[in-house]
DNA sequence: AATAATCTGAATCGTTAGGTACAGATGTCG
DNA sequence: CGACATCTGTACCTAACGATTCAGATTATT
């Protein structure tokens, strides 16, 4: 039976801050991945009892999803901001440099939760892996719209494939996360971004590097 | 006591092919990652008994390391070959296209074992994670030597930073692995490589895109 | 103050993990 | 042939996993 009351104000109120607890869980998942993070790891970090976690968040899977949503809200705002920049050149530069700033923020775990959360996992964690894949696809889709709009508005040259360019930038961003997790410093990551941006100098001119008589700078 | 004999030919010979078993283990680790791969998963795939595995390979950690070495020998030859190409342009094109071919080979698990094996893991698998990080660093170091040599020989322009360029290519390669694991098709991956190579057209000219009067093609 | 609802902490569940022990099977070599 | 080293399969060990129960503490409403 265990029927729920209509009045949620009744009874003993929660003794901990749910968002603070979610933040703590998020960091553990970020460091150890979904299946590497033990319930004990999580509750220790959240400074919460096992059953309190259970009552507040459901189970490990639900906890991860909620922590991930908080991660998106807290840490991935720079991507949304980057996509709103007026020119595609600024969109790319802002998202790449933003990624490096984000990754190298002192105190942040290595890499990004979207990739590190569940890249290759056992059967039990497969639903979470699939869920993350879908979210990454959605993110790519949002970015692609911005690039396609730039193509229509003439911000991107005639011979530029906006879909491929979107995925190229996404590939770089995800690669930066792996590099970071492999021990690259902020300066080294930023040098990678410099190289990528130098290569894309043609965006400033609205011309393609393979065009004849393309003058850069 | 259990002293070992001097003659390894004595006693009952092994009833299975060790390299075939290693191949099977490699694939399981590749699909599920180090901590996602269960001993039962492994021995089932290897068609071997638990104690046979134990006797032949030591423990899970040793099995992974041996499987990974086999992986390097079997699947990462294209990187070595790419680094031997005469020009740096060919080195880059060959390693990027080789990566796509490798990733999209039918029957291969998603991504690459070096990254997918243990990116973010729990405490117990941390030694393997560190081991893989070190191997990735070593690989980067080998590639860097090739790029620095190209700089000295004049194959790379004066204003190109060979160290940064090396890491840029590595970032792309690892990003391609993540993209593949996120569901990108071979064609989509190859389009990303096309974009990257178009950006690097300056390599054919020995000039930098930010140079004045740089004429591409 | 009495009541009802909720939270908290410890104890416990069944399952599975990696790792072993041991008896019997199977082959090699003197 | 016969002794012996090594492999194979079953059964089992301990520890840790995620998940759950339940008595008691705590607090808002009545």
- Cβ–Cβ contact A172 with B under 8 A: yes
Nucleotides on strand C with an atom closer than 7 A to protein CB? 4-11, 16-22, 25-29
CB contact under 8 A, B36 and A161: no
pLDDT band at B13 (very low <50, low <70, confident <90, very high): confident
pLDDT, residue A26, reads: 96
Largest CA distance in chain B: 78
**Which run of H or E residues covers position A188?**
helix A186-199
Tell if the CB–CB gap between A119 and B33 is shorter than 8 Å.
yes
CB B216 within 8 A of CB A153: no
- The pair of structure tokens assigned to A76 is 């991935």
Query: How far, in Å, CA of B189 to CA of B180, rounded?
Result: 7
Quick one: pLDDT band at residue B7, thresholds 50, 70, 90? Answer: low
CB contact at 8 A, A113 and A100: no
Q: Which of residues 110-129 of B touch A (CB under 8 A)?
A: 110-111, 115-117, 119-123, 125
Q: Protein A46 CA to nucleic acid D28 C1', in Å? A: 26
With CB atoms and an 8 Å threshold, state whether B115 touches A210.
no
Q: What share of chain A is helix, strand, coil (3-state, %, to 5)?
A: 70, 0, 30
Place of tokens 């390599």: B203
> What is d(CA B110, CA A120) in angstroms, rounded to the nearest whole number?
9
Is pLDDT of A4 > 70? no
pLDDT tens track for B144-182: 999 999 999 999 999 999 999 999 999 999 999 999 999
- CA distance linking residue B174 with residue B50, whole number of Å: 34
**Measured distance CA(B206)–CA(B7) in Å, rounded:** 60
- What the block records as the tokens of B19 is 């390299």
For the cut 50, the answer to whether the pLDDT of residue A7 exceeds it is yes
Q: What is the pLDDT of residue A199?
A: 93
pLDDT at B215: 37
In this structure, the dihedral spanned by the alpha carbons of residues B202, A207, B171 and A145, taken in order and rounded to 10 degrees, is: -170
pLDDT in the model for residue B216:
37
Q: Which tokens belong to B102?
A: 């490798």
Whether the pLDDT of residue A212 is over 70: the answer is: no
Q: Considering only residues A6 and A102, tell me which one the structure prediction assigns the higher pLDDT.
A: A102
pLDDT at B212: 36
- Judge whether residue A5 contacts strand D, using its CB and a 7 Å cut-off: no
Lowest mean pLDDT segment, chosen from A86-100, B62-76, B192-206:
B192-206
Q: Which nucleotides of D are covered by protein (CB under 7 A)?
A: 4-11, 16-22, 25-30
A137·B202 Cβ contact <8 A: no
Distance CA A93, CA A98 (A): 8
pLDDT at B10: 66
Average pLDDT over residues A131-146: 97
Nearest CA in chain A to B161: A195
Asked if A206 and A157 count as a contact pair (C-beta separation under 8 A), the reply is: yes
Give dist(CA B172, CA B110) in Å, integer: 16
Dist. CA A129–CA A118, nearest whole Å: 5
B116 versus B49: the higher-pLDDT residue is B116
Q: Over the stretch A151-209, which tens digit does the pLDDT of each residue have?
A: 999 999 999 999 999 999 999 999 999 999 999 999 999 999 999 999 998 877 644 44
pLDDT in tens, B19-49: 999 999 999 999 999 999 999 999 999 999 8
């Amino acid at each position: 039976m265990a029927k729920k009351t209509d009045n949620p104000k009744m009874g003993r109120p929660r003794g901990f801050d749910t968002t603070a607890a979610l933040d703590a869980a998020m960091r553990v998942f970020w460091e150890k991945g979904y299946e590497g993070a033990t319930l004990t790891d999580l509750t220790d970090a959240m400074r919460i009892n096992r059953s309190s976690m259970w009552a507040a968040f459901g189970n490990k899977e639900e906890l991860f999803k909620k922590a991930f949503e908080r991660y998106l809200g807290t840490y991935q705002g720079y991507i949304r901001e980057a996509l709103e920049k007026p020119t595609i050149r600024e969109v790319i530069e802002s998202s790449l440099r933003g990624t490096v700033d984000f990754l190298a923020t002192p105190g942040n775990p290595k890499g990004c939760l979207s990739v590190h959360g569940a890249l290759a996992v056992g059967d039990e964690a497969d639903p979470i892996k699939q869920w993350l894949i879908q979210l990454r696809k959605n993110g790519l889709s949002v970015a692609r719209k911005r690039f396609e709009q730039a193509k229509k508005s003439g911000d991107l040259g005639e011979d530029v494939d906006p879909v491929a360019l979107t995925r190229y930038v996404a590939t770089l961003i995800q690669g930066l996360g792996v590099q970071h997790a492999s021990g690259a410093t902020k300066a080294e990551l930023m040098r990678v971004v410099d190289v990528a941006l130098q290569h894309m100098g043609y965006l400033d001119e609205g011309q393609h590097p393979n065009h004849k008589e393309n003058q850069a700078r």
